[in-house]
Amino acid sequence: MKWTAVLRLIRAPNLLIVALTQWLIYRQVILPALSAAGIGPSLALNERLYLILVTVIITAGGYVINDLSDGKADKINGRKILLSTLDQRRYAWWLYLSSQILGFCLALFLAFHSGNRLWIGLYPVGVWLLYVYSTTLKRLPFLGNVLIALFCAGAAAIIWFAERGALGQLHSSMPEVYLRFARITGFYLGFAFLSTLFREMVKDLEDEAGDEQAGYRTAVVWLGTRPMKQLTVLTGVLFFLAFSLGMFYLEDNFRKEWLWFTFIPVTLLSFGAIWQVLKANSPKEFHQPSTLAKVIMALGLLLLLGLKHI
């Protein structure tokens, strides 16, 4: 396979967003909070980079195994098939297995270098969950949607987990700073979870025909199009309400220009996506709100860039 095909297979832009999210959580949220109390981070700079790389490798592997498992439905749904030949599938399997072994070696190194043996167990759990998602859970109602939403939020939450020792000291020495940190991080986790869940539900609507023919029992196949549309709209409204309340409650922590630079686009895109879901009746029409939801997810980076202080 050409490098361009490999980059499409592993969804390189999405991996960049994952890496940037984790780096910004460190740079904009955790380090300023710890610095305010004169506390050093639990992970050194190189260990943070290892953790980010391990997360990216797990995510990339999830994309590869998903394409390996979903060829029939993707073909029916008219998606571009990246693994259409036997040689391409063999290469994808080699890429998947070799990258996951590399990721485990990095997790092993991180565990012993940082003195935290939990990384040894967490890595295979993450790989296994994405494998089970691709081969089983995504074909069942809601389970796959919720798991992917949890993974997107978990990419940020794992940084909190990695720094739990230093953050525990922060909680003891400066509880008011810890509370601000927890509110901001919790707000971002909620943003990531609900925006991802909304998009996953829209994608189910978009892929209904192919999923049904492939024998999947996704939420829309199980419930029907109309109830699923109503539930998706409800999720979109819940996301927007939670986002709006969070921005209002935490506005003092954001620079004013960034506050509006984030709030206005997310508001317009949210209403646009919800409206398009309501009126959509074909896969092509559902693709539009799916794209808008993906942009909303990416705009979460602006929340982190716009932080003023902890």
196 exposure class (CB count in 10 Å sphere: 0-12, 13-18, 19+): buried
pLDDT at 256: 85
Contacts of 232 (CB under 8 A, 6+ apart): 198, 201, 202, 205, 277
- On average, the pLDDT of the chain sits at 92
C-alpha dist (Å) from residue 242 to 116, 155, 194, 210, 245: 35, 20, 9, 33, 5
Cα angle at 132 between 202 and 78, to 5 degrees?
40
What confidence tens digit (pLDDT) does each residue in 100-112 have? Answer: 999 999 999 999 9
* Cα 25 to Cα 16, 19, 183, 186, 194, distances in angstroms: 14, 10, 13, 11, 18
**For residue 70, what pLDDT is reported?**
76
Structure tokens at 21: 């999210």
pLDDT tens track for 26-79 = 999 999 999 999 999 999 999 999 999 999 999 999 999 998 887 666 666 666
Q: pLDDT (tens digit, 9 = 90+) per residue, 260-303?
A: 889 999 999 999 999 999 999 988 899 999 999 999 999 999 89
Contact 135, 150 (CB under 8 A): no
Highest-confidence range of 116-125, 184-193, 246-255, by mean pLDDT?
Answer: 184-193
